[in-house]
Amino acid sequence: VSPPAPAAQTGKPPLLVAVAWPYANGPLHLGHVAGSLLPPDIFRRAMRMRGHDARMVSGSDCHGTPILLKAEKEGKTPAEVVAFYNAEHKESLRRLSIGFDLFTATTTDNHRKWVQEIFLACREAGYIETRTQKAPYDEKAKRFLPDRYVEGTCPHCKTPGARGDQCDSCGKTLDPQELVGPVSKLNPGSPVTFRDTEHFFFLLSKLQPDLERYVAATAGHWRANTINFTQNWLKDGLQDRAITRDLTWGVPIPAIPGSAKDYSDKCIYVWFEAVCGYLTASIEWAQGQGKPEEWTRFWTDPKARGYYFLGKDNIPFHTIIWPGILIAYNKARAKRGQPLLNLPYDVPANEFLNLSGLKFSKSQGVGIGVQEVLDRFQADAVRYYLSINMPEQKDADWTWEDFQSKVNDELVGALGNLVHRVLSFTKQNVGAIPAAPPASDPFDRKVTDAIAACGDDMGLHLDSVQLRPGMRRLMDLAIQGNAWMQDAKPWATIKTDRTAAEANLHSLLRLIKALSVYMAPYLPTAADQAWRMLGESGSVHDQPWSAAQAPLQAGHKLDDPKALFVKLDPADIAKLAGPAATNEPQPAPSSQKQASAPSAGSAAAPAGAAASPTTITIDEFQRVNLRLAVVKSVDAHPKADKLYVLKLDVGDLGERQVVAGLKAHYTPAELVGKTVAFVANLQPAMLRGVESQGMVLAGDDGTVVSVLEAARRLPPGSRIR
């Protein structure tokens, strides 16, 4: 439930805060939060306080092949799978205090109806047409297959098991028709043929001039990475793209006027349909308000602005494809005399948040779930670390060590400490908020000026979606506040000059009021708590930004203050971080050892064993995630004579790249196809510029090096114990 806009009548433009739709095939992790979910919430809260009517919508992206296959695998219907993850997403967002005006799903009737309307209108305007193409067809399942569900021998390197979209062995991109002996991955062994299928294409090439004009007119205030991605797409020349698929899980193709053809075995593909969700969710929100036309204030008022928050991998969908759909749709709307829809005003795309150097990835098992982190830590602590460390200009890293020090030293040690010591000292020694000092008081002037300057600076940062520097500016003011408390020494002056001490405390309490306003977008729970401890009424989230400079309620009786933030316990961090993610020293060989070892490096190498006479418990041993892995490819390291770069298939853990010192002992052909022992949770390391994500085990007598293989055939990913 989001608070009402405090000042809808300020004449400032209404803002649509549009958030990239998380895909409903897994729980939310911190990578999603840092990339595209927390930034719009901070922005929305700040813009409301700054006088805009800002509305935030999104939902779960529910269609497409991966969800269909997940449902088949789990013996559920696709609707059950997406309902489960939609509920999980909503719960994670609620616990993080991320407040959407509407968080819906692409499975609603409203969404279907409007996507079909946009589809037909774009076709009517001449931007969608049908073309026939050959597509892979599973003869046993009697259905068309997505490219990556076709397997066969690579025509380039002759490796078996290459996918229809790419060969992992030689890295070449493929067309499924190029594979030798193509078979279906869905029904192992089932032959694949290529049949004609008719699809609808979105004519992006025809929209190139319109899109170039749009980008030239709008991109001036975009982030550099957003502009670069977009310009590269435009420079390469836009290609027409198929927007339908041979699937039944999705938005059905509507009846085509003047055509008797049956398209009931096809649907509109996610990348066309999901971006339409920004509009359909706005319409659904308005209906839910009982004001069905309310959405037009955010879409057809030329003064209104749309801000689209997303991760950098999503940029072209929001700067090319969605604007392209809107331009085509607008041409149909213009002919019908309907008002035109606004194109995106800003597309603040974030870079990636990595986990101790590794990209968050569901398939590789790298990530921290939102729910598990919130079971142990305050939402505001997580929001603080993700804000002060936000991947706005470049990739950022979540490390547990840094999380602990940023929260304990800054959030608790500076901001929380200032609020607590000023409130508790005043409560104990005065009992109520003291009277204001005269305007000429130099200490009060200093504090007043600092409050105004911080509000101005943060306002500029927030208005231009620079959320990380905004948080930094706020924390610097809190650090300054602690220094002023130290300078003023009210614990000494209260004994000699009570009037002066109370005057200083009043100024410091005003600083706390200002901080509670300024922290509201970032730390919503703590902000409200500080606000109420000062005796202010209502919620700080309903206040205008200028409330930071409003007077205090002198004479208000104070209660005992409660701490805003809890110090992090290293034991809790260790529990959550686990052996793979923690930054504490590891019992396993260090990456340095791994780099210099002549063999692949081995936890069981004689040298390592001799150096460590102590025994370990079975629990300690089980902290090593040992798996069988199949060597898919072997390449020479570009910069090191003795090293290979191996690509491994580790089953459910996905593909891993490992740098191993095996070049003097094996040819690539001897290694490819072997099933070897692999340490899957070794901290990744850069070895001469190439990332190594684990370690292959080998025996070594000083002369002969032998990789450890499984004596019987087992699938990749099998556990070793």
Of 107 and 169, which CB lies nearer to Zn ion in the complex structure? Answer: 169
Q: How far apart are CA 328 and CA 210, in angstroms?
A: 10
Q: Is 154 in the site for Zn ion (CB under 5 A)?
A: yes
Q: How far apart are CA 326 and CA 16, in angstroms?
A: 15
Report in angstroms how near the CB of residue 187 gets to Zn ion at its nearest.
24
Q: Of 106, 107, 169, 354, which lies in the binding site for Zn ion, with binding defined by CB under 5 A? A: 169
Site string for Zn ion, 679-708 (x = CB under 5 A): ------------------------------
Maximum CA extent, the chain? 94
Candidate ranges 34-42, 153-161, 205-213, 459-467; the one touching Zn ion (CB under 5 A): 153-161
Of 167 and 447, which CB lies nearer to Zn ion in the complex structure? Answer: 167
Report in angstroms how near the CB of residue 176 gets to Zn ion at its nearest.
14
Report in angstroms how near the CB of residue 168 gets to Zn ion at its nearest.
8
Of 333 and 647, which CB lies nearer to Zn ion in the complex structure? Answer: 647
Report in angstroms how near the CB of residue 182 gets to Zn ion at its nearest.
14
Q: How far apart are CA 98 and CA 716, in angstroms?
A: 40
Candidate ranges 4-12, 47-55, 168-176, 346-354; the one touching Zn ion (CB under 5 A): 168-176
Report in angstroms how near the CB of residue 158 gets to Zn ion at its nearest.
7
Of 62 and 671, which CB lies nearer to Zn ion in the complex structure? Answer: 671
- Dihedral of the CA atoms 591, 592, 598, 604 (nearest 10)? -50
Of 167 and 659, which CB lies nearer to Zn ion in the complex structure? Answer: 167
Report in angstroms how near the CB of residue 297 gets to Zn ion at its nearest.
54
Report in angstroms how near the CB of residue 188 gets to Zn ion at its nearest.
20
CB atoms within 10 A of CB 570: 13
Residues forming a β-bridge with 183: 151, 191
Q: Is 179 in the site for Zn ion (CB under 5 A)?
A: no
Long-range contacts of 231-240 (CB under 8 A, 24+ apart): 233/316, 233/319, 233/320, 234/208, 234/320, 237/205, 237/208, 238/204, 238/205, 238/207, 238/208, 238/211, 238/320, 238/324, 239/204, 239/205, 240/201, 240/202, 240/203, 240/204, 240/205, 240/206
- Interacting positions 611-640 with Zn ion (CB under 5 A): none
Candidate ranges 154-162, 242-250, 506-514, 689-697; the one touching Zn ion (CB under 5 A): 154-162
CB atoms within 10 A of CB 234: 17
- How many chain residues touch Zn ion (CB under 5 A)? 7
Residue 553: partners with Cβ closer than 8 Å, 6 or more residues away: 433, 534, 535, 536
Of 65 and 166, which CB lies nearer to Zn ion in the complex structure? Answer: 166
Of 159 and 300, which CB lies nearer to Zn ion in the complex structure? Answer: 159
Q: How far apart are CA 69 and CA 91, in angstroms?
A: 25
Report in angstroms how near the CB of residue 91 gets to Zn ion at its nearest.
44
Q: Is 156 in the site for Zn ion (CB under 5 A)?
A: yes
Q: Is 157 in the site for Zn ion (CB under 5 A)?
A: yes
| Three-state SS at 457 | helix
Report in angstroms how near the CB of residue 157 gets to Zn ion at its nearest.
3
Q: Of 69, 83, 170, 374, which lies in the binding site for Zn ion, with binding defined by CB under 5 A? A: 170
Residue 93 dihedral angles phi and psi, to the nearest 5°: -65, -40
Q: How far apart are CA 394 and CA 373, in angstroms?
A: 24
| Three-state SS at 387 | helix
Of 163 and 312, which CB lies nearer to Zn ion in the complex structure? Answer: 163
Say if CB 431 and CB 558 are below 8 A apart. Answer: yes
Which residue, 251, 253, 264, 247, is CA-closest to 72? 247
Candidate ranges 146-154, 263-271, 538-546, 663-671; the one touching Zn ion (CB under 5 A): 146-154
Q: Is 167 in the site for Zn ion (CB under 5 A)?
A: yes
Q: Is 161 in the site for Zn ion (CB under 5 A)?
A: no
Say if CB 52 and CB 341 are below 8 A apart. Answer: no
DSSP state for residue 346 in the 8-state scheme: B
| Binding-site ranges for Zn ion (CB under 5 A) | 154, 156-157, 159, 167, 169-170
